Chain A
Amino acid sequence: MSRWRNRNLLIGGAITLAILAIALVSLAWTPYPPTRIDIVHKLATPSAAHWFGTDPFGRDVASMLMAGARSSLSVALIAVVAGAGIGIPLGALAAARGGWVDALLMRATDLAFAFPALLTAVMITALAGPGAFNAMLAIGLFNIPVFARVTRGAALAVRERDFVMAARATGRGEWSIMARHVLPNTSAVLLVQITIQFALAIIADAGLAYVGLGTQPPFPSWGRMLNDAQTYIFRAPLLAVFPGLAITLSVLGLNLLGDGLRDALDPRLTARR
């Protein structure tokens, strides 16, 4: 039981849950409407009325950060689900079939890794039109080869284990073995990979939004807030601090959660560290 009480899992889980909760709460309540402009109170410093101050348009930074959590998490979630949804079956296929199918899929992933992910995401969103949906697509696309690779590697290792040999000896088909014995035993590795990709997707989403290609204004996003803040960096330096902290904290939480999950689910991996 004590494996589940490791420090990384607790801290990472708590941070991730807190950010998820903030994103959900923002659906129902934010201190102010996140897009409401209030020029009279522009560039206010943090106070009881505005916990994190206001931006150059007088919008409440706390409310924008809350709404930003929602857009960041939803882009990352959909990108990772799409990448895993396509990548995991492809990896399983490569492991089960072997031969030319495997060789072809692996060469294809090699090729995909040659394209710097963020650069290509920039190209896709810029050409296909900026926006949250295309950002999800562009980020999701680069999750496919990662999940295919990890699933294939893990599945190949599990297929060598005795219980798979036993299932094969009883005459079960290759696909049924894959679905009932192999994939469930790769879930620890895949779950850890999901948290890693989720963290990377949040950074990628913020990067795209920073250069103006992600979630479009007026809907707030952490990346866009950083870009806007840079213009006012001499007058209101704090504006450039909060959105970055939000990104860093989310990524830190997910990374710790991934480390904690790995320790909890697969003690053999930890023993080697």
Chain B
Amino acid sequence: MSGFLVRRLAGLALTLLAASLVVFLVLQVLPGDPASLMLDAQARPDTLAALRHQLGLDRPAWLRYVTWIGGLLTGDLGQSYTYSVPVAELVGERMMVTLPLAVLSIVLSTGIAIPVGVLGAARRGRPADTAAMGLSQFGMALPNFWLGILLILTFAVALPILPAGGFVGWDKGIWAGLRCLILPSLALALPQAAILSRITRSAVLETLGQDYVRTALSKGLSGQAALWRHAVPNALIPVVTVIGLQFSFLLAGTVIIENVFALPGLGRLVFQAISQRDLIVVQDLVVLLAGSVIVVNFLVDLSYRALDPRLSAQDGP
């Protein structure tokens, strides 16, 4: 197991390094010279040269890459050009919105999808199953930003019980902060729950047909017990895989949803940084977001072994 873990960790480190190289290279080729983008076209050549020096652009690319990576590893993300504060500070502040939003969305989506999917499988073909699957077909087609607007229309305009957007901050109390995140996290969670409930349903249907479930039933276990103790745990691998994959969609989704609800999170920061050509912030954010997707997928991979002991048995002692 430990040899396996070392191999996987080395793979993880390599992937993270490759991702950072891709981000760095893409930002090198894509927009041209950041300094001239930050200044307007009429800027004097010596102003441009001074800014290039200040940003370190007069140094060779490899040196800038190595400096950047070295900084990332020690927690120094550089200095934001427009906000004139360390990027790490900006990210930390915005993370307090995006992280709770993402966690709340995953909790909601999983909390809705697993019961619906299991119920659908257990009552396959009955009205409840047909209704749930029809609804999920519709839910999969809903763009989360439109759902966000519809939720605003319903719960902020027609029935004014929740804020239409904005974030009051956590210092006003947990509930005041959470209130601002309810609608955005629902908008993110419902389309994901639609997909996840279908995956759960077909995974449980698959395990319900297995011999061990028949054995459990024939030794006198009730249908409910066979379902929850044997069929559901064995169906979890594809479900966990999809939850892991959805994390990436969720992060991308927050970029748009934070715009719909005017939430000061990482997604909005990406936008502001791009529109103000604050490229160091863009570079840091994209690598942080891609890095978190890579780490989540790594954890999902590891969790397979906890869910299915046969997988670690294959490694040998």
Residues of A bordering B, CB below 8 Å: 110-111, 113-120, 122-124, 126-128, 199, 203, 206-207, 210-211, 226, 229-230, 233-234, 237, 240-241, 243-244, 247-249, 251-252, 255-256, 272-273
Contact = CB atoms under 8 A, between A and B. Distances in A.
B313 interface: no
A205 to B, nearest CB: 10
Given A114-B15, A126-B274, A252 B138 contact: yes
B274 to A, nearest CB: 4
B128 interface: no
Nearest to B260: A230
Contact of B282 (A115, A118, A123, A243): A123
A119 B66 CA distance: 25
Contacts of A211: 255-256, 259, 271
A153 to B, nearest CB: 15
A124 B270 contact: no
18 contacts: A114-B290, A114-B293, A115-B293, A116-B289, A116-B290, A118-B249, A124-B30, A127-B30, A210-B259, A210-B260, A211-B271, A230-B260, A244-B146, A252-B140, A252-B141, A255-B141, A256-B137, A273-B205
Contacts, number: 128
B117 interface: no
Interface in B188-242: 202, 205-206
B149 A226 contact: yes
B143 A247 contact: yes
B287 to A, nearest CB: 10
Interface in B249-274: 249, 251-253, 255-256, 259-260, 267, 270-271, 274
A118 B143 contact: no
Given A116-B248, A118-B253, A233-B152, A248 B143 contact: yes
Contact of A113 (B137, B205, B248, B291): B248
Secondary structure type dominating chain A contacts: helix
B256 A118 contact: yes
Contact of A248 (B22, B146, B256, B260): B146
- CB-based closest 6 A-B pairs: A244-B146, A116-B252, A118-B252, A252-B141, A251-B141, A126-B274
Contacts of A110: 15
Interface of B: 15, 18-19, 22, 27, 30-31, 137-138, 140-143, 145-146, 149-150, 152-153, 157-158, 164, 202, 205-206, 248-249, 251-253, 255-256, 259-260, 267, 270-271, 274-275, 282, 286, 289-291, 293-294, 297
A237 B249 CA distance: 28
Given A120-B286, A127-B30, A111 B256 contact: no
A216 B267 CA distance: 22
B256 A210 contact: yes
B131 to A, nearest CB: 16
B197 to A, nearest CB: 14
B145 to A, nearest CB: 6
Contact of A273 (B30, B145, B158, B202): B202
B172 to A, nearest CB: 25
Contact of A119 (B140, B157, B251, B260): B251
A207 B260 CA distance: 11
A7 B294 CA distance: 39
A126 B275 contact: yes
B22 A111 contact: yes
A206 B145 CA distance: 9
A113 B297 CA distance: 10
B249 A116 contact: yes
A111 B15 contact: yes
B301 to A, nearest CB: 11
